[in-house]
Structure 1
Amino acid sequence: MQIKTLGRVGYEPTLAAMREFTEGRGPDTEDELWLCEHPPTYTQGLAGQADHVLDAAGIPIVQTNRGGQVTYHGPGQVVAYPLLDLRRLGIFVKEYVFRLEAAVIQTLDAYGVTGLRVAGAPGIYVRLEEPGAHARLAGPVLPGDPFRGLGKVAALGIKVSRHCTYHGLALNVAMDLKPFQGINPCGYAGLQTVDLATLGVYTDWSDVAQRLGERLSALLSR
């Protein structure tokens, strides 16, 4: 897998480049991993509903063909786009998503933060009161409130075309979190979004991007 660190790039040109790469690749095309950050942008997935955008406040909203609902991208967030041939890798979509989440969990662990999965809600979450706690979630505190005491630190939304992937995941490092208040993140009203800085981890974008890239490469290479 070839890892490319793109830095800060516009969302729409990057999406166009991913689609062009995916549509033009052949059976021998090398897989790539793009690491970047975007200027402030809301993106809607295929399941996105307009009423989940509460107040865009001038931030552009881009309709996309990824899975999921609305999320926010902005400076201080590591966005990872794995461009893979799943058939060549020998895994199916469910395993691919599991490995994406595992890469985030392993990256967070390097900073003393325990990443958690919530059943039926892709992405990675943390305990707000004790981010480093290792106990597994035993289930929601209240059946109607699966996110009680949790904050979302990484979002996931993918597209698979002819067994090849694009779009990917976003891990919040140190960013302005206010735009998340303008949406129901990933379609969940009241879901709190956090970044590493909120959790008391002070590091820079490049360090997190490198660590995340290494974990993704290790988990998504043959």
Structure 2
Amino acid sequence: MNRATGNIFTVTVKNMGITEYLTAWQAMKNFTAQRTCETPDEIWLLEHLPVYTQGIAGKPEHLLFPNQIPVIKTDRGGQITYHGPGQIILYLLLDLHHWQLNIRQLVRKMEGAVIDLLNEYDVIARGDENAPGVYVHGAKIASLGLKIRRGACYHGIAFNADMDLTPFTAINPCGYRGLRVTQAKDLGITDSKEILATKLAQNFIDQLTDA
């Protein structure tokens, strides 16, 4: 567990290992429902067992063919995506009033954290205002999703580090037909997912605390 402070507010980083999606989702909802204006913000680092998640406006036709991987309709924005071992998840449980952020600003900071991480390895990446996420040569390496409730957010960043990308072929990733996906390993990044997760969390905190 690590803590970082920006202004007068504290962010606690928790490493939660491999966690079932439904377990993590329920925990995020509980945390957000119970928090007060004094509740410290948290970042949860974890991985999921194989699962497709469908956003609140998700269209079923973006699952091209069913397989043994479960599909869960969740409460974040966006369309369908895949989570599995080797993908780094940062769940961001933040009170946006603490940081004086609107959703657009938060999304830019989420993208910036990933872009800065890849830049450390001389990989040029970019965000896309029309299709939130982070891309390398047109292939998506990180997906973003958020739910805002009473001025607080949950869900967050899914960064492909070292995983089996095959399940993405059964979907239109994030609702985009033919969208390619990539991962850190395939870009020549050899640091472990643990190192990458720690760096990504710190990069996001740096983004968050940068006035």
TM-score bracket relative to the smaller structure: over 0.9
Deviation of 1:55 (Å):
2.0
Shift of 1:113: 1.1
- 1:56–1:183 contact (8 Å) kept in structure 2: no
Partner of 1:47: 57
Structure 1 portions without partners, runs of 5+? 128-149
In structure 1, the residue corresponding to 2:181 is in which secondary structure?
coil
Which residue is 1:118 aligned to? Answer: 128
Match of 1:27 in 2: 37
**TM-superposition CA deviations, 1:169-217 (whole Å, max 9, x none):** 1000010000000000000010011101111222211011000010112
Q: Which 5+ residue runs of structure 2 have no aligned equivalent?
A: 1-10
Matched, 1:153 2:163: no
Runs of 4+ in 1 over 2 A off after TM superposition: none
Tell me the equivalent position of 1:165. Answer: 153
Q: Which residue pairs with 1:137 in the alignment? A: none
* C-alpha distance in structure 2 between counterparts of 1:32 and 1:118, whole Å: 26
Query: SS state of the match for residue 187, structure 2?
Result: coil
Match in the other structure for 2:186: 198
Distance 2:141 2:65 in 1: 21
User: Equivalent residue for 1:75?
Assistant: 85
1:86 has 2:96 as partner: yes
Corresponding residue for residue 8 of structure 2: none
Shift of 1:220: 2.0
Aligned mates of 1:204, 1:107 — CA distance in 2: 13
The TM-score, its normalising length taken from structure 1, stands at 0.88
List per-residue Cα deviations over 1:1-57 (Å, max 9, x = no partner).
000011111110000000000000001000000010101000000121000001231
**Aligned-pair identity (%):** 43
C-alpha distance in 1, partners of 2:152/2:93?
7
